[in-house]
Structures are given as structure tokens and as C-alpha cells.
Amino acid sequence: MFLSHTGSVRSFLLLGLVSIWSLRLSIHLHLRNHNKPEDHRYQAIRLRNEPNFKYKSLYLVFILQAVLAWIISLPLFVSAQSSNPMNFLDSIGIMVWFIGMGFQVIGDKQLTQFKAKADNQGKVLNTGLWRFTRHPNYFGESCIWFGYGIMAAASGHYWTIISPIFMTYLLVKVTGAKLLESEIGKRRPEYKTYINKTNRFFPWFPKDTG
């Protein structure tokens, strides 16, 4: 994608941003999951689709993921191919990207440090960024993809803004926050109070529930 033409400043900038995002996320997931059992959410998906999950996974996991990745990455493809000069929208996109990266990095670090303390076993993190949103990492991911979408709009392809909107919908209503919260309340009774006080996605001050 990025090497199919001579390249523009925007295309090389996007290459750098995507490389930083993917490398950071890969390292974080490796450190979090190394030598640990399969995520219980994926175990549940496996159990729901037995027998013959190894065959069903071809379309339930791999083909579906490939189609979703193609739709979500459209802003990257079209903006990397564009020869339109950079403009003020690119600056806004980059700013939104950095806001998203900040939420992801800080949110993940705060959660990792919280889980590392034995005294917090079964408790709910409600400080730091987690005081203002129940999913700062998912909010950050959404901002990152909106950053790419704004840069695609700067290149003249406004229609691709549908991709980060779709990504955000998946994060909030399908694979992200909804899937996680469907089972976390069963393991942590305090989470119901946390839900009542804290916005699910967009950061805001906690509600005073008395």
C-alpha cells in the first residue's frame, strides 16, 4: 500500500503512525498474555460454537476479521495513495491520533499496575483515566482510527469517515465494551456501582449517585 507509488509526506507519516501503534499494541499484548491461558472471552466463543469449532473458525474468525480489517483500513489505503498536499485537517487528525495514543498507553499502564497488586484481586479500577471512562483504552483506539479518518478526509476522501464510525460501533456495541461488560459484572460485584457512576466510553466526570 505505502510502497506502490513514489509516496507523499502524508503516506510516510501514516506509515510511521501505524508502525508506532502496531508495535506498541503488539508489545503490550505479548507482555500481558505471555504464558497465560486463553482469554476467557475467547474460551466462551469456542464453547458456544462446538462441535467442529476448528472448521467454523474459518468464517467466524478469520474471514470475518479479514473483511472487517479491510473496511476499517480504508482511510489508510486511500490517504496513502493520494497526492493531495497536507493541510490543516491533517494536523487535526494527528492531534486526535496522539490523544488516542495517550489514552491507550496511560490507560493500559494504569490497569497493568492495578492488576499487579495482590490486594486488588476482584476489585475495580476507578482511578486515573478509569475514573472518567470505563474503557479508556477502547476510547483511545477509537480516537486513533478517527485520526486516520480525518487525514483521509484531508486527502479528499471524506466518505471514508464511515470506517472509524464503524470501528467505534464495534468497540462499544459488539466486540469491545459490550462483550467485556457482559461477563465482568459476574466476577466483580463492585462493577455495578462503577457502571452507575462512570461513562461507558466518552470520558466525563463521575456521576454523583449519592
Specify whether 84 is located in the same domain as 140.
Answer: yes
Q: What distance in Å separates the CA atoms of residue 56 and residue 172, rounded to the nearest whole number?
A: 25
CA–CA separation, 84 and 151 (whole Å): 11
Residue 54 has pLDDT above 50, yes or no: yes
Q: What is the pLDDT of residues 172-183, one digit of tens each?
A: 988 878 778 877
Question: Do 152 and 117 fall within a single domain?
Answer: yes
**Domain match, 181 and 127 both:** yes
Q: Is the pLDDT of residue 4 over 60?
A: no
Residues 17 and 88 in one domain: yes
49 is in which domain, residue-wise?
A: 40-72
Res 2 pLDDT > 50: no
- Residue 4 maps to a domain: no
**Quick one: 91 and 78 in the same domain?**
yes
Task: Say what the pLDDT of residue 209 is.
Answer: 64
Number of domains in the chain: 2
Same domain, 66 and 115: no
Asked whether residue 169 is assigned to any structural domain, the reply reads yes
Judgement on whether residues 147 and 67 belong to the same structural domain of the protein: no
pTM for the complete prediction?
0.88
pLDDT at 108: 96
Regarding whether 100 and 23 lie in a shared domain, the answer is yes
Residue 129 is inside which H or E element, if any? none
Whether 202 is covered by a domain: the verdict is no
Within a domain: 127: yes
- What is the CA 83 to chain-centroid distance, rounded? 29
Q: Give the integer Cα–Cα distance in Å for 84 and 78.
A: 11
Residue 189 maps to a domain: yes
142 and 180 part of one domain: yes
pLDDT: which is higher, 35 or 104: 104
Q: Which of 23, 49, 72 is the last residue in one of the domains?
A: 72
Question: For 86, which DSSP code?
Answer: P
Q: Which amino acid is at 167?
A: M
Let me know if residue 142 belongs to a domain: yes
Both 46 and 121 in a single domain?
no
Question: Is 97 in contact with 17 (CB distance < 8 Å)?
Answer: yes
